[in-house]
Every structure is written in C-alpha cells, then in structure tokens.
Amino acid sequence: MITKTLVDHCLSTSYEHIPDEVKLHGKRSLLNWLGVAIGASQHPSIDMLLEVTKDLQTAEQVSVFGREEKVDLLMAALINGTSSHIFDYDDTHLDTIHHPSGPVAPVVLALGEHLGLSGEEILHAFILGCEAELRIANAVYPSHYQLGWHITSSTGVFGAAIAAGVLLKLDSEKLVWALGIAGTQSFGLREVFGTMTKPFHPGKAAQNGLLAALLAKKGFTSSEKILEAKRGFANVLAPEHDLEKVNVNWGEDWELLKNSFKPYACGIVLHPSIDACVYLHKRVSPDHLESIELKVNPYVLELTGKETPQTGLEGKFSVYFTAAIAFLDGNASEKQYTDEKVKDEKIIEIQKKIRIVVDESLKEDEVEVTALLKDGSNITHKVLHAKGSIDNPMQEEELLTKFSSLVEEHMGKSISDNMAHFLLNLEQYSNINELIVLNQQKKLISK
C-alpha cells in the first residue's frame, strides 16, 4: 500500500520529529519562493489571470503576493504558483529537475492566511508536502520526464494535496482520497516550455492539490491506491518506475535537503554554461573572440536547444542565447531575459559564434568551455559544480541578496528586509498577519 503508507508517514511526522537542518532549509525555500513570486508579480500573464478572476467575480479571501488584489483560495494558489515560476528562478531538486516550492508554498500560505494558522503549522505542512512530492518524483524519474511530462506539476499536485490535507487536519482515509483526487488531476506537458503556460503548471498543480484536499474534507471519495494501482499514476504515466523510493528511509533521509537555489533566472541545466561564459566575460573582449565551444550534458540540448529564440521566455530555453548574454553581460538574471535582448544584434552575433557539443560523460552541473581567439590562442575552463548546485550552493547571504534584488523594486527596502526576517523566523509567529500586512503596504508605495 504505497499511497496509504505515504499518508501514514506524513500524519505521524510531527513538527518536533523534523530535524533542525530540514526546518532551516524549508524556511530558506519559502524565502526563495516568495522572492521570485513577488519579482514576477507584475508580469502580463499575472494581469491576465487577475482579469479572469475579476470576470468570474470570485470572493476576496487571500493575498496575491506583490499585488494589491485579494482573490479566492483556489485562484490565489493558481496565481501565486504561476508567478513564482515565470522567471524560472525558483528552487530545483537536481536529481529530478523538480521545483518543489512552486506547487506547495502557495497552498500553505493561502490556507495560513485564510485559517489564521501559525508559522510552525505552515512550515510543518510545507516540509511534508515538498518531501512527499520529491519522493514521488524520485520514483518515476527519468522515464516520466522523458515522456514529456513536466514533473514539477505532475508530481507537485501530490505535494500540494498533502500540505493542504495536513493543514485542514484530514484523517488518514480522507488524505488518501485527497491524493486520489489530486492524482487524477496530474498534468503538465513539456511541449509548452518557452510560453506563458509553463509557469502556469506549478500554479495549477497548487490549485488542483488544494481543491483535492478541500473536496476530500467534505467526504469526496477517490482511489485509495492512486500511486500504485494498475491504472494509477505510476503505471499510466511512467513506463519505468520504482515506487519503493516513495517511502524508503522516511524520516531519516530528507529529499528537501537536496533542494537547491538558482543564482540565474533560467533552467538549472544552463547554469554550468553560464558560469563558464561569465568566466570568459572577465577575460575575453568580444572584439577578440572567434568562437566558443561548450561541452555539455545531453539534457542541455534536449531542454534548451532553441537556436533562434524570439521572446524573452524562449530565451530561457536557448543555450545559445543564454551563453551569449552571460559572455556579454557577465550575468543571466531576469533582466537579461527580455524580448528586446533576444533581438539585440550584438547578442545574435555572439550566438552565431557558439557551438554546443554533447558529452555524455559530463554530469548535469558540469561543463567545459573553450574560447578560440582571433589571434589563434584559446582559453579552456571546466566548471565542475555550477553555482547553485548541491556541491556549490548559494549561501544564506547570497539568497538574501537575491531576495532583495527581486522584492525591493516592487516593495521597497524596508518591506523587503522585514519579509525576509519574517520567513527566516517563521516558526516564531502565531500567525502570518505580519507578512500579509507587509504585502498590503505596497499600496502605500504605489500611490
């Protein structure tokens, strides 16, 4: 009974049973999530979602982070989850290319605000939801991902349901049903990468998982074996899978500790190439460059092989564009991925000088770069572990700098600093009213 055992594990794991290092990583994950969500909160796609919400005349229940508007619980989960993935700047579980906070954080914060829950309750549910979805992802990766499923949403819906179910205090039977309801809503196709629909995925997973838990609370029934059944999640959506990974060493090994934070606003597979080209940026003048050769892991071309992106979003899926901006600008933040940049003739000229060579011996966080100069000399550099990987992680100070760079523009420095302090001390608060008040203070800045 894979599904039932997972539910029992979640319900029997108290906040006190979670190691301090996992709690700290959970708070950092929430900090990173809120930063990227607020950073993208003014994106046109968020405007569109809010326009639909107004058309539907939904209740004004909880906050949209970085915005004045309040929306109903389900739309808040959708909008905040979508916002957090727009920049492709969110956290990543490198073993499965999964972004765990996206489907779970919007749920726990929406319910936390709506129900007046404590910071400890919110952090507890967040950790359990992330842990559950990552273990399910482990069980079906890579075959599930290689079929074309966006694993963040297809398995994230389970994490959202677990987190919501814990906060709604579902018993074992109803939480099993919640997973069944969530599993039949598992979705997300990689075909839409490079469009507004990719960030829609974690938002919809959050919304679907929350809805699953709300329905289960009312007694809405579903399969009790959604993960392992013959026509359940794993057997239908993953040709090869190992469901033993869902529950193995529960409470001893924590997948959440493998969650990493991005220093660059694009897919994690591009980060080694960015590091390599930033290295060249400091040493080579564009006028002296003849060509750049990047030896990369196979996933780089599979996921980011667009040679001539036409929009900023498409640029995030182009190793050619990304390498060019990293070489020219020495960075690849959200400010590099604009529609104007992908049409910049200087960048396009550098793109034409970039050659990608797949090397199956290289790991996901490795790359080898060779710059050939016009005088016939060359510079070679190997990145063993990209910045942001498990072996070369962002430190808390760097994470705070990232947070402030994303939030201050919209909220101001004082609010940004106070939000960061709140999240890093989340368990000390009896409710999240202070965070909500800080978010609403944006009104004062915008007027």
The predicted pLDDT at position 441 comes to 86
* Count of residues in the chain: 447
Paired strand residues for 369: 294, 381
Predicted confidence (pLDDT) at residue 446 exceeds the cutoff of 50: no
Where is pLDDT greater, at 94 or 319?
A: 319
pLDDT digits (tens, 9 = 90+) for 97-110: 999 999 999 999 99
> In CATH terms, is domain 268-383 a member of 3.60.10.10?
no
pTM of the predicted model as reported, rounded to 2 decimal places: 0.93
CATH architecture of 2-260: Orthogonal Bundle (1.10)
Predicted confidence (pLDDT) at residue 433 exceeds the cutoff of 90: yes
The average pLDDT across 103-129 equals 98
* Confidence bin at 276 (pLDDT 50/70/90): very high
Predicted confidence (pLDDT) at residue 445 exceeds the cutoff of 60: no
Burial code of 235-271, b = ≥16 C-beta within 10 A, e = fewer?
eebbeebebebbbeebeeebbbbbbbbbbbbbbbbbb
pLDDT digits (tens, 9 = 90+) for 250-270: 999 999 999 999 999 998 899
Predicted confidence (pLDDT) at residue 247 exceeds the cutoff of 80: yes
**In what helix (H) or strand (E) does residue 121 lie, and over which residues does it extend?**
helix 119-140
The average pLDDT across 25-38 equals 98
**If you ran DSSP here, which 8-state letter would residue 288 be given?**
G
The average pLDDT across 174-203 equals 97
The average pLDDT across 74-90 equals 97
The average pLDDT across 421-429 equals 98
The predicted pLDDT at position 326 comes to 97
The residue behind tokens 């979670």 is: 18
pLDDT digits (tens, 9 = 90+) for 374-406: 999 999 999 999 999 889 999 999 999 999 999
Report CA-CA distances (Å) from 325 to 17, 311, 381.
Answer: 45, 14, 18
Give the side-chain half-sphere CA count within 13 A for 340.
3
The average pLDDT across 313-335 equals 95
The average pLDDT across 195-217 equals 98
417: tokens are 């600093």
The predicted pLDDT at position 442 comes to 62
3-state secondary structure of 91: coil
Where is pLDDT greater, at 389 or 209?
A: 209
Which of the residue ranges 265-269, 295-299, 417-421 would you say has the lowest mean pLDDT?
A: 265-269
The rounded percent of the chain whose pLDDT value lies above 70 is 99
Predicted confidence (pLDDT) at residue 444 exceeds the cutoff of 50: no
Paired strand residues for 372: 291, 378
Residues 411 and 38 sit within 8 Å (Cβ to Cβ):
yes
Which long-range CB contacts under 8 A does 72-76 form with residues at least 24 apart? 73/110, 73/111, 73/114, 73/210, 73/214, 74/207, 74/210, 74/211, 75/49, 75/207, 76/106, 76/110
Predicted confidence (pLDDT) at residue 280 exceeds the cutoff of 70: yes
Predicted confidence (pLDDT) at residue 443 exceeds the cutoff of 80: no
Residue ranges per domain, the chain? 2-260, 268-383
